[in-house]
Amino acid sequence: MMKHVYVKYGFKMMFLWVLITLIGSVYAQKKEDSLFKSGDKIAFIGNSITHNGDFHHYILLYYATRFPDKKVTFYNLGIKGDNANSFLRRMDADIVPHKADWSIVMAGMNDVNRGLYAPEKQNEPDIQQRKERALKDFESYYDSFLTRLKRTKTNIILQKPSIYDQTGDLTAVNLLGVNDALERCGKIVDKLAKKHQVMVIDYWTIMHEVNTKLQQTDVKSTIIGQDRVHPGPPGHFVMAYTFLKAMDVPNNVSSLTIDKGSITDVKYGAVSNLNMQEDELTFDYLEERLPFPVSPEAESAFALVPFVDNFNTQLLQVKGLDEGVYALTIDDILISNFTQEELAKGINLAERKNTPQYQQALKVFKEAVAYRNVQRQLREIKFVEFSYLPKELWDGDLEPIKTFISEYLSFLQVSKDARYETFHSIFEAYLKNKPQQMDLEKQANTLPEAIYQLNQPQSHRFRLAKADLDMPDRSEAPFGVNLAGAEFAHQKTPGVYNRDYTYPTVAELDYFKSKGLTLFRLPFLWERIQHELDGPLDEAEVGRMMAFIDAARERNLWVILDMHNYGRRFVNGTREIIGSSNLPIKHFEDVWGILAEQFRTKENIWAYGLMNEPHGMLDSVPWFNIAQQAIFKIREMDTNTPIMVGGDSWSSTHRWQQASGNLKDLIDPSANLIFEGHLYFDKDASGTYKGTYDEEGTTPETGIVRARPFVEWLKENNLKGFVGEYGVPDDDPRWLVTLDNLLNYLKDNGVNGTYWAAGPWWNTYKLAIEPRDGIDRPQLKVLSKYLKVNEK
């Protein structure tokens, strides 16, 4: 019985503690035990919340990264809309055949019959009796199901239902009383667990507590979806945390302490080749486990439950170092700089997403997501069969199923049943997916193998050495790249981080630095950094921007802050031009004044980029006036950082003298302006590259021709210039010749620039130089020839 297994597991934990105490002098420690054993098959049985698969996907991911030597297989046996009675109905066809070693069951959300709690039903005379009847049926059917399930000799774990959000200000009609009924379901689960001597996981209590705390500050917040029923990714993560907490699983990924060049403690790993010389420490470290790779959409759950402290500690502690700042590299990748105080206290490497260990965990995560998605597709097929087809057609031949569906839909249509469109859509998707079932089942069998190939431990070379803290000389005028992402989905303001937009990663900084590119233009949106005109900066967005700048500083890399708004921003849902009655210049001054005050101490800011590609500005309020006011405001806060002024008319270098020639008269009290032009090589210079090289009329000299008006203007007026965007497709080598000629011309004339573009979300964008499958893009070969205007 589960109760006995849990006691045995606790005994093993104590035995291991004693054993570790006895062998403390050995620097390779035995792993803690896990509840699920190698070869175990674990089935999650439930309704739509199980069908979704997220919470048990996170549990699988924990086991795959924490116990790489114990291969376990997780099965999704959820069916949306199911209740305890439905479990009985599909038991022999769907549950028993898997022969699971562990059956983890959740019911209740549909058993309470939520429709009974609709506001319009509350005055019906027998409503209370019907609600009570639903709960009695739940207990009876669940008891019968568990009795039958026990006969299969599977270990059973019961899960109390997740919550129904009846307290949040959400879009769905509030069925008041459902969550109270679910609490009573939880008590019934306790009763049945005692009867059947099985363990219980209590999701309801922790989710209720977390959600209540959230809504104390914002009644619109929820860990459940807007439908009040289905948890969002953070809610699923809280469920996974609760499950792991109840299982009393190990908290440490690994732990290593080094004091004055000697190992004093190591857990879940082995150290070799340790060497300490003056200000440098090196060693090889084979850890037995991987850090847990959280999905971006669930990351906010870290603020709700102490997952990192409880389950994701990868401790590196180095004592006895001389005072100073030390650079930690793993496999020659800079992880971060740390003071000797931070290292003596200990750092949690699991929170550093740029470590090779975390990157390996992300590969495991990718396969686990694929496995979850394949199982979801299979459950969609089973959902239709178990919910709408007669038993004799379950998993039957397709032709009889098609005949049944056709006749059923015809009946609904003839009888003018309002459900016709809904069922037509359901069956249409089913008939599309059903022929893929065998292939999906094959994938479901092979993906776990892939997970347990990717999660195997690897040795890594660690190095701690005094950090080089000096920024390069500005006079070198480096070339670089735009790292896009924070400005994506400009129509969604402020948007949702990691869904609508993202920020570049530390791994990208490391990659492009390894190619010699040391200047990064960071596009961002005004509306995201400052939600309300004249309001404060958004703390979360500032934090993301600051983290990127700080990561660049640790690597001695330069950053341009580029407000990517085209001379506009959304005000009350309407995109307004700066200088209009709804968006006076004073608001633009305000945001740049606050930004300058926020970032003025960051010594690796190459420049404040006032505005990306202003165009179509008002005749009454020209771009010159707007830029001048912003310059004066910035200089009230920061007299040192250069200010980069983009040209009017999309910052065109070719049209610069006509559209932006008057910018030479701008006044900077610090005399530290840089003028920014953009150019592309297609026919309309838009950078969309709709045609081929020949169709666009491009020649090897196109870039030089288009850059020359800007460069000559700079020389004539003794001004500093910069080309913030240029880029070419990857589909014809002739584009690379044109790019090469442009960069050679710019370098010869003392103008640096940043290529458009890189960034984590470009996928197959033909201008992007983000590596694909670890392979450099062809444009990079040209860019690598032009790293600095003034090489030293």
Q: Which residues are catalytic?
A: 613, 725
Give me the residue label for tokens 């297609």: 682
Report the distance separating Cα 483 and Cα 529, nearest Å.
17
Report the distance separating Cα 403 and Cα 159, nearest Å.
39
The CA R_g of the chain, rounded to the nearest whole Å, is 31
The pair of structure tokens assigned to 45 is 């049985």
Helix 356-388, helix 54-66: angle, nearest 10 = 140
What is the DSSP-derived secondary structure letter of residue 392?
G
Which residues, 6+ apart, have CB-to-CB distance to 600 below 8 Å? 637, 638, 640, 641
Q: Going along 85-154, which residue ranges are E strands?
A: 102-106
Spacing of C-alpha 398 from chain mean position? 39
Which residues, 6+ apart, have CB-to-CB distance to 29 below 8 Å? 20, 23, 266, 267, 268
Closest to 742 (Cα-Cα) out of 705, 779, 777, 784: 705
The pair of structure tokens assigned to 317 is 């502690």
**What would you measure as the largest C-alpha separation in the chain, in angstroms?**
90
State the CB neighbour count (10 A cutoff) for residue 640.
11
Angle made by CA atoms 660, 758, 551, in degrees to the nearest 5: 100
726 bridge partner residues: none
**Phi and psi (nearest 5°) for 120?**
-75, -10
Contact 508, 353 (CB under 8 A): no
Report the distance separating Cα 716 and Cα 714, nearest Å.
6
The pair of structure tokens assigned to 184 is 């009573």
Report the distance separating Cα 714 and Cα 722, nearest Å.
10
Report the distance separating Cα 495 and Cα 434, nearest Å.
37
Element spanning 280, H or E: strand 280-287
**Phi and psi (nearest 5°) for 686?**
-90, -20
Helix 702-717, helix 733-748: angle, nearest 10 = 10
- Going by their DSSP bridges, the two strands 519-524 and 480-483 should be labelled as parallel
Contact 256, 316 (CB under 8 A): yes
Contact 569, 583 (CB under 8 A): yes
State the CB neighbour count (10 A cutoff) for residue 362.
15
End-to-end CA distance of the chain: 73
Contact 675, 714 (CB under 8 A): yes
Give me the residue label for tokens 């302490």: 257
Helix, strand, coil proportions of the chain in percent (round to 5)? 45, 20, 35
Which amino acid is it at 283? F
Going from the C-alpha of 101 to that of each of 75, 79, 155, 466, 629, the distances in angstroms are 11, 20, 6, 52, 71
Classified as helix, coil or strand, 371 is helix
